[in-house]
Chain A
């Protein structure tokens, strides 16, 4: 519970950005650096990399497609243009079993890395991150 609270606090600024972004979609691509860092389309910061690894480990592509364009589940390229970060968190944790979306609140890997997952998917939705395998931005 403590951890959850501090996570919310530390991302208060980003939340504001995300909320704005959902109202003014044009600005979404103006501020991607606040969420994720990307180089050459497939090298990302450590948090975003963990987010992609979580995506992969949870086999999200089985429903949302390998390029997040949707299959049985909805396109996350589209959905992430409209969802606020809070709404994203809510959907991820509660799921929507009737439509096939599992609740992830009890899965440690997801609760630990959900912000990275959000950053990754946002980067995909913004067109900044390429589909497929990612690596870490090399530290010089």
Chain B
């Protein structure tokens, strides 16, 4: 990871910056960018995440069946291929898309977190399995879509299945042997959550206070925490100086809030845990008693930020719930919580003293109760931003954020839990934010010290692609129509774009090989935005506007996975 030539982790670093010091390609010449090479992944469905580059090899992953290709950068030949044999029974429990967010690398090994919850360590040179462990059970709805993350000597992974009543947890394994070091649940008894009632802190009444005994158990009715969700499929980060891992937990199960009274801790929470022991240093719940499916799993970006004249070690997080949070990452102190899309309406603001959202009852399915259709809630369940990771521009200190601009109707209903069966309990329709530009996305630059949008570039569809900022003063991202774009970090002005064969939900990456900078992206539509969303758009809705919603996507793109790599033309 040390060399800027490599792209050795999904975010390029531990801090989730998605920033590269490379600047051969820059604002002045990016207009000349052209395709250097491309390859088919041979797989349909949604291609999230990005390949890794280590030395002269690129490691490319695919959605289910989670094949891995080691590609020689010299001649694009395959050094090896890994094709896991997975039970197809896992596909229905991943409904509706079989995405995988990529690989991790360390210690001469490539780590693959398969859909069926098998975590595999492959020899980076040969593709042979070094070790393999299971961290879940698809029979009860447990699957994986997240990338494993290597921090120091551990590989950290999570679990998906919030719509199947899975009990979320983070798990750390030894990089060398695959030995499990710790498991930290999101819900349940203190000991199983690795929460110390007296030492784990949280923001309470304007200051930090210990969470106290049974902080999770007290916030659920009966045994519901056992099927309480709080899954962990996002992008984690790590601060080596503090030795803390940061990640978010997902929605409480079910989506029908009436069935689970209480705050449902610690779903929808930012956790900071000691990497070696897993013990929580602090926790902050963003959306207590969720009524909207605003998972808190989105990436945690670590940056030192000037706030009111003071340099603060911060964690910055753009939540599904539409608020951009800045906290002191050492202590858990809440510093900033502001809307990063002005149309967000489910809460008027975050009360900075209690740290809790002030919910607008007009948009609260938990207030109106089951079988009532609550209209015009903004954002929609997929959030003002979903997993598509933001980037931190180290030069300007701004955050470059791919966002959704979508609202919804939400009707909860009673459901019974059956292991391995959907445990959803709400019907949703989604549409572009009314009274706006008619598109379903924006790409924005965010000031995390002030909690303000600096510039915003409207997009026709949700920007479901991870951003990459470079020292060349440009930020790259992909669109659901299939464009990869480069825009100026100063004002969002479009400098270059190229249409790939399919919609983009992958993350842009860059590397240098043989003295030349390359930029790459996986193309291949799918995921919730790509396909799942056409769902709600059959009934005419005021908000549909000029664009006509996600249904329009079929005019622009179709399924198909490929990798595109771009470079500047050689000087003649």
Interface residue ranges, A against B (CB under 8 Å): 56-59, 61-63, 65-67, 69, 71-73, 95, 97-102, 107-109, 131-133
Contact = CB atoms under 8 A, between A and B. Distances in A.
Nearest to A66: B535
B532 A56 contact: no
Given A107-B421, A132-B539, A63 B95 contact: yes
B88 A66 contact: no
B538 A57 contact: no
B422 A62 contact: yes
Residue in B94, B98, B424 whose Cβ sees the most chain A Cβ within 10 Å: B424
15 contacts: A57-B425, A62-B95, A62-B424, A62-B535, A65-B535, A66-B538, A71-B535, A72-B531, A98-B88, A100-B92, A100-B95, A101-B92, A108-B418, A109-B416, A131-B539
A71 B96 contact: yes
Given A71-B532, A72-B96, A101-B92, A61 B539 contact: no
A97 B96 CA distance: 12
A97 B89 contact: yes
B36 interface: no
B64 to A, nearest CB: 10
A99 B45 CA distance: 12
B163 A97 contact: no
Contacts of B415: 57
A102 B93 contact: yes
A62 B92 CA distance: 10
Contact of A59 (B373, B411, B424, B429): B424
B97 interface: yes
A61 B429 CA distance: 11
Given A62-B163, A66-B535, A72-B95, 10 more contacts: A58-B422, A59-B95, A59-B424, A62-B96, A62-B532, A62-B535, A67-B539, A97-B88, A100-B95, A133-B373
Interface residues of B, number: 30
Contact of B535 (A58, A61, A97): A61
Contact of B534 (A65, A108, A109): A65
Contacts of B88: 97-98
Contact of B421 (A58, A63, A71, A132): A58
A65 B531 CA distance: 10
A97 B94 CA distance: 11
Contacts of A67: 535, 538-539
A97 B424 contact: no
Interface string B292-321: 000000000000000000000000000000
Contacts of B92: 95, 97, 100-102
Contacts of B411: 133
B40 interface: no
A61 B427 contact: yes
Given A66-B538, A71-B534, A57 B95 contact: no
B20 to A, nearest CB: 34
Interface in B415-458: 415-416, 418, 421-422, 424-425, 427, 429
B534 to A, nearest CB: 6
B427 A56 contact: yes
B536 interface: yes
Interface string B121-159: 000000000000000000000000000000000000000
Contacts of A97: 88-89, 91-92
B413 interface: yes
Nearest to B45: A72
Contacts of B163: 59, 62
Interface in B231-274: none
Contacts of B429: 66
Nearest to A130: B539
A92 to B, nearest CB: 12
Contacts of B373: 133
A35 B354 CA distance: 56
